[in-house]
Amino acid sequence: MPDRRVVSVALTIAALSAVLAVAAPGFFSRENLGDLLLGNLPALIVAMGATLVILAGEIDISVGSVFAICGIVAGLLAQAGSPMLLTIAGTCATGALLGALNGVLVAYAALPSIVVTLATMVALRDGLRWATQGAWVQNLPSGFQWFGLSQGAYPLVACAVAAVLQVTLSYGLRHVAAGRAVYASGSDANAARLAGFNTALVKSAVFTIGGALTGLAALLNAVRFNQIPSNAGLGLEMKVIAAVVVGGVAIRGGRGTLAGTLLGLVLLALIGPALVFLGINAYWERAIQGAIILAAVALDAWRARRRQPDVMLAVQAS
């Protein structure tokens, strides 16, 4: 049975689309939808990794800094004449290594993930600023842009990559032992350990996978342009975490789906452009997004309080 939060987000998207279809049909032009799709595909892939981390009961706010570093690495590899496959592997490996650093500190040093990733967010961003002196990567080879494909073929490839990741990870979470371990670790780490799950390995793995996905997202973003900024990814962490929470993933972990994250990102991505097409001041975008996020978190807290008496009664009955 579909989660009620996922259904409510889907209905909200449908209602907003209906309003736009009547009041601003130009919103659904091929050019606008194409821009929205390409602009948000990288955030979707980062949000997949963030979903895994939050399902495991942790949080990663360093993804924006990792995204920026991976984009620069991709550009430098391309400048050095690396084959595209090596550029892809090197960029994803960079993200995976940075994610693994967070994972080791959280899982094995037992440090709070909010503290660890806040520290790495600042350290990585400032380190990148020092290393590049704010300079952008320019003079990229022609074969780098759009992966060497035509501008029309690239969106099909990017969408196919995102779709394969979405389906594969969703299937794994539901039907593979490693996926069940992620839910168990986020729901109750002590109970998961007693059940035989290596929760430290699970938490380290989700940070590493999240980093690799962030690297891939940075590459998909970088190939769209002829230069790569050193300040990319600013605010990305808030966008992806908001999408995860709005999509019904419990902020404490243990409950949620990647389908919900997808819908959450779609809803948040629609708000800004919709305001513009409806003639409403775009400054309202942040306020509306904040209200949606607050409502989602408040609903989570209310549902958690409702479940607690049921758990207590079950314990007493046993």
The confidence band for 298, taking pLDDT boundaries of 50, 70 and 90, is confident
Contact indicator for 134, 79 with CB cutoff of 8 Å? no
Give tens-digit pLDDT for 226-252.
899 999 999 899 899 999 999 989 888
Q: Tell me which residue range forms the domain holding 15.
A: 4-317
| Contacts (Cβ under 8 Å, ≥6 apart) of 255 | 55, 183, 186, 187, 248, 249
**Do residues 186 and 113 make contact, with C-beta atoms less than 8 angstroms apart?**
no
pLDDT tens digits for range 19-77:
999 999 999 999 999 999 999 999 999 999 999 999 999 999 999 999 999 999 999 99
Q: Look at residue 309 in the predicted model and tell me its pLDDT.
A: 55
Amino acid at 83: P
- pLDDT band (50, 70, 90) for residue 312: very low
The reported pLDDT for the residue numbered 315 is: 34
What pLDDT is recorded for position 318? Answer: 41
Distances (CA, A) of 189 to 8, 203, 252, 253: 30, 10, 11, 10
Residue 307: its pLDDT value, please? 63
Answer yes or no: are the C-beta atoms of 221 and 30 closer than 8 Å. no
- Element of type H or E holding 115: helix 113-132
* Reported pTM: 0.92
Count of domains in the chain?
1
| pLDDT value, residue 2 | 62
> What's the pLDDT at 6?
86
- What is the dihedral sign for C-alpha 225, 230, 235, 237? positive
What's the pLDDT at 308?
58
Residue 79 has pLDDT above 70, yes or no: yes
Tell me what pLDDT residue 316 has.
43
Residue 224 Cα distances to 27, 140, 239, angstroms? 22, 11, 20
In this prediction, residue 229 carries a pLDDT of: 94
CA atoms within 13 A on the CB side of 24: 15
pLDDT more than 90, % of the chain = 75
Instruction: Give pLDDT, residue 87.
Output: 96
- Judge whether residue 317 has pLDDT over 60: no
Distances (CA, A) of 255 to 209, 226, 240, 247: 19, 41, 17, 11
CATH no. for residue 204?
1.10.3470
Confidence of residue 118 (pLDDT cuts 50, 70, 90): very high
Backbone phi, psi, residue 137, to 5°: -80, 120
Render pLDDT for 245-295 as a digit per residue (tens, 0 to 9): 999 898 889 999 999 999 999 999 999 899 989 888 878 887 887 888 888
Higher pLDDT, 312 or 99: 99
Length of the chain: 318
Higher-pLDDT residue of 243, 316: 243
**With 60 as the cut, is the pLDDT of residue 201 above it?**
yes
Say yes or no to pLDDT of 313 above 50.
no
Cβ(230)–Cβ(134) below 8 Å: yes
Please report, as a single letter, which amino acid is at residue 123.
Answer: A
Output the CA torsion sign for 12, 161, 236, 144: negative
Between the CA of residue 296 and those of 76, 224, 246, what are the distances in Å?
40, 33, 6
Structural tokens at position 208 = 């590493």
